[in-house]
Structure 1
Amino acid sequence: MKKASRIEKIAARCWNVLNEGKPFTPVFVVGVFVLYQALWGTFDAGAIGWALLLAVPLFAVIYRYDFPLHLRWYLWPPAVMYIGWLGGFSLELQLWAMGWYFFFTVIFWGTIYYHLRIGIPLDNYKRFWRLVLKNSDSTSGNAQEQIPKIVLLLAYLHSAAQSVPGDWQAAFGPLGFTAGFALYAYGVHRAFFDWRPEEPEQFTSTPLPKHPPARRVILVVIDGCRKDRLEEADTPFLDWLKRTGTEYTRMETIYPARTVVCFSTMFTGAYPRDHGITSNMVWKLGVRCESVFDKLREAGKTGRLLGIAHLVDAFGDDVDTVTAVMKNDEADAHIMARARQIMEEKQPDLLAVQLIATDQTGHSRGPLYEEYREKIEEADRHIQSFYQWLKEKGYLEDALFIVCADHGQSDGIGGHAHLDEGERFVPFILHGPMVREGHRVDALRNLTSVTPTICYALGAPYPDRSRGPVLMEAWKPEACVSASATGDGS
């Protein structure tokens, strides 16, 4: 199984500049504006520089405030108001930008990029344009959010470029609009951004057990697996795990539900405000709090995370990478082969494995199509084969086996971040000799519980910012005897 190369890690970070909505908007708008001026305009460097200088505050406001889900409709009134008040609407410039936008999202991203990286058919553009129009999360592929932002910013730049460079009196109008837009954006988010889950202030406080109930923890994450689509799929092995283990039916992902954010929470027990990873675009490498891998080392144990290059940005050398540049139909099989190799060579006390094919199918083909359900069914077979191999090798003796997802996926290009329908709740199953059989937990929990539950199982201290409760409902009574309850300390 090929590892992610240094070039692939750098390329993944560069791609996030264009994939994440926040950095994409200024990069795209400035790029198409300057290119238009060079090819079709007068290319007055002074006027372009003046326009870009005046636009910096507006770019900053738009970078600061996402307008996800239904909030994106609130972008159109300011755009219409600016054009009606200060002008700046150039039909040629706007058509130029829209042409480049749909070329980038539908042809380059949805067709060429996915074909070269994971083998998607070259006619994917026939479906991908519909997915871009339906996507609701704040990525570059969210047309209903990006288009009004592009229209507004280009009108602003075009009108500013018509003014005399250095004429601050003439700049009062655009700058005044920016101030008003900032207040408007703040008010919209204050009044209508009301679906973000609560983030409790408490830290994990469950006393550790006198005798750790597990010798090893195996965690398999089906990246981007929608819970409702899993329930529709033919997954006999996962169904067996549910019948003979404990299922959490209301396990909630983390906000914002981006892969690196969710994994950072899963392996620190902390919210993004604590671990510092707030999108897949990681400006400063490494989580800024302790992780489960740190605490396992402190306890004389080892942990490994097997995943794609993105996860190195959060966990560095604790990650064994796999390349994400391969046919999607082969990806999960290669990952599981690498997982077997790691288990035999390193025999970690914690092995976490990221399966990527389901997520990549959701992004490239859409999560409401048959291909997505089929990838979930493939994941079920891969997990069953891996489980049987672990059992035959003796690695499952007194082991806790967990299957979950990091986030779901909404309609469109499989977007996920702001908890649209299909994103919020994820599958979560625990299995092992210390786990209650045939048990369902319907209480609301979230992914901050992953790390404290692993620490409890292995007898390792909790990380310093771990906030999630240990999933005590899953344990058999004999696994819940704490050291403090026996008089041996906590």
Structure 2
Amino acid sequence: MVSKKDIKRVIILGIDGAGTFIREAQTPYLDILLAGGVQTHLARTVYPSNSGECWGSLLHGVVPNRHESHVHIQKNRSFPVDSMAPSIFRILRKARPDSTMAAFVSWKPIITGVIEDIDGMNKYAAPDEELVPAIGAYLRSNPGVELMFVQLDDVDAAGHRHGYGEGSTEYLKAITRADKQIGEISKALLEAGMLEDSLLIITTDHGGGGLDAFNHGSDAPRDITIFWGCRGPGVNPEANLLGLSIMDTAAVAIHALGLPIPRDWDAKLPAGLLN
């Protein structure tokens, strides 16, 4: 079990729609952040490779037909608080009722149809350019936050508009802008004295351009292969991430928070990732 004195909080930074194309773009802030951590461009997301299914599996640790976040989103209803597939936020709140947690997203359905309505949890939805300053302000005034999820959406929007992949200049520029925004969030963590005792997970939910240059959702490699990386206390830079799934993010987060991973989860803790 990871010691709480080592990891004070878990922060998940999600770049919607970036797939593995992060390696094709200029990402100086990610390069610096993950220099002492571990990363892979061979992680896999779930099928169908759509945001509701993918972010749902990341936050609930189970396959889409178990969390059904996409169903709640389609029907414009809140994620049920009594679901047999609780999110990592609900698990933390049950274990530590006074825990401070937050979600900042550009795609608003995440804070309704994917994450439960949890009393006292900070939820905020806004376009990326408004979201990032709000995150910085929140971090500076809430040093005790234990769990935070961030979703940036402009990369996916660029993919739908200009096409996904290495051949789309506007798409790659959007990834570089997201990289700069992650740099701004990291700067806020650093200024608040929170960077070195945080487990920082950076990932994406899906790629695109598998069967349609302007879309995603298939099980084609360009749609379903994703980037995943993390840094923080106890992270083993030599860890083998072969076979890592987007769902495993939930297991990493829960373990890092010092809580037992639910036995019925599809998510697994990558062997040797956290010392």
Task: Note whether the superposition's TM-score is higher than 0.5.
Answer: yes
Matched, 1:375 2:178: no
Contact 1:215 1:349 in 2 (8 A): yes
Tell me the CA shift for residue 351 of structure 1: 1.0
Measure the CA separation in 1 of the matches of 2:3 and 2:35: 29
* Count of equivalent residues: 260
State the secondary structure of the residue aligned to 2:115: helix
Contact 1:304 1:320 in 2 (8 A): yes
Which residue is equivalent to 1:285?
Answer: 78
State the secondary structure of the residue aligned to 1:309: coil
| Letter matched to residue 349 of structure 1 | E
Which residue is equivalent to 1:306?
Answer: 104
| Letter matched to residue 188 of structure 2 | W
State the secondary structure of the residue aligned to 1:220: strand
Which structure 2 residues correspond to residues 41-60 of structure 1 after superposition, within 5 A?
Answer: none
Contact 1:252 1:425 in 2 (8 A): yes
Cα 1:226/1:276, change in 2 over 3 Å: closer
Which structure has the highest strand share of the two?
Answer: 2
Matched, 1:410 2:203: no
Measure the CA separation in 1 of the matches of 2:19 and 2:227: 8
Tell me the CA shift for residue 413 of structure 1: 5.6
Measure the CA separation in 2 of the matches of 1:396 and 1:220: 13
Which structure 2 residues correspond to residues 296-445 of structure 1 after superposition, within 5 A?
Answer: 296-300=92-96, 301-307=99-105, 308-311=107-110, 312-318=112-118, 320-323=123-126, 331-346=127-142, 347-368=144-165, 369-410=168-209, 412=212, 414-437=214-237, 439=238, 441-445=240-244
Tell me the CA shift for residue 403 of structure 1: 0.7
State the secondary structure of the residue aligned to 2:103: strand
| Letter matched to residue 10 of structure 2 | V
State the secondary structure of the residue aligned to 1:354: strand
Which residue is equivalent to 1:214?
Answer: 7
Cα 1:217/1:386, change in 2 over 3 Å: same
State the secondary structure of the residue aligned to 2:136: helix
In the alignment, which of 249, 256, 264 is matched to residue 457 of structure 1? Answer: 256
| Letter matched to residue 244 of structure 2 | R
Q: TM-score, normalised by structure 1?
A: 0.50
Which structure 2 residues correspond to residues 218-229 of structure 1 after superposition, within 5 A?
Answer: 218-227=11-20, 229=21
Matched, 1:257 2:53: no
Tell me the CA shift for residue 385 of structure 1: 2.1
Matched, 1:275 2:67: yes
Cα 1:209/1:421, change in 2 over 3 Å: closer
Tell me the CA shift for residue 211 of structure 1: 5.0
Which residue is equivalent to 1:468?
Answer: 267
| Letter matched to residue 275 of structure 1 | H
Measure the CA separation in 1 of the matches of 2:113 and 2:241: 34
Measure the CA separation in 2 of the matches of 1:226 and 1:305: 21
Measure the CA separation in 2 of the matches of 1:316 and 1:341: 24
| Letter matched to residue 303 of structure 1 | M
Measure the CA separation in 2 of the matches of 1:224 and 1:454: 21
Which structure has the highest helix share of the two?
Answer: 1
Q: State which drifts further: 294-303 or 400-409.
A: 294-303
Measure the CA separation in 2 of the matches of 1:216 and 1:339: 15
Which residue is equivalent to 1:21?
Answer: none
In the alignment, which of 87, 91, 95 is matched to residue 295 of structure 1? Answer: 91
| Letter matched to residue 462 of structure 1 | I
Tell me the CA shift for residue 463 of structure 1: 4.6
Q: TM-score, normalised by structure 2?
A: 0.85
Measure the CA separation in 2 of the matches of 1:377 and 1:440: 27
Cα 1:212/1:451, change in 2 over 3 Å: farther
Task: Specify every segment of 5 or more residues in structure 1 that has no aligned partner in the other structure, as ranges.
Answer: 1-207, 324-330, 480-490
Measure the CA separation in 1 of the matches of 2:241 and 2:247: 17
State the secondary structure of the residue aligned to 2:272: helix
Measure the CA separation in 2 of the matches of 1:284 and 1:379: 29
**Percent identity of the aligned residues?**
24
Tell me which of the two structures has the higher relative contact order, counting C-alpha pairs closer than 8 angstroms and 6 or more residues apart.
Answer: 2
Cα 1:275/1:421, change in 2 over 3 Å: same
| Letter matched to residue 250 of structure 2 | T
Tell me the CA shift for residue 273 of structure 1: 2.0
Contact 1:266 1:451 in 2 (8 A): yes
Measure the CA separation in 2 of the matches of 1:445 and 1:404: 12
Over alpha carbons, which structure has the higher Rg? 1
Which digits, 9 at most, give the CA deviation of each residue in 1:435-484, with x for residues without a partner? Answer: 123x3635111011111111110112435742211133322xxx3xxxxx
RMSD: 2.3
Which digits, 9 at most, give the CA deviation of each residue in 1:159-210, with x for residues without a partner? Answer: xxxxxxxxxxxxxxxxxxxxxxxxxxxxxxxxxxxxxxxxxxxxxxxxx446
Contact 2:2 2:258 in 1 (8 A): yes
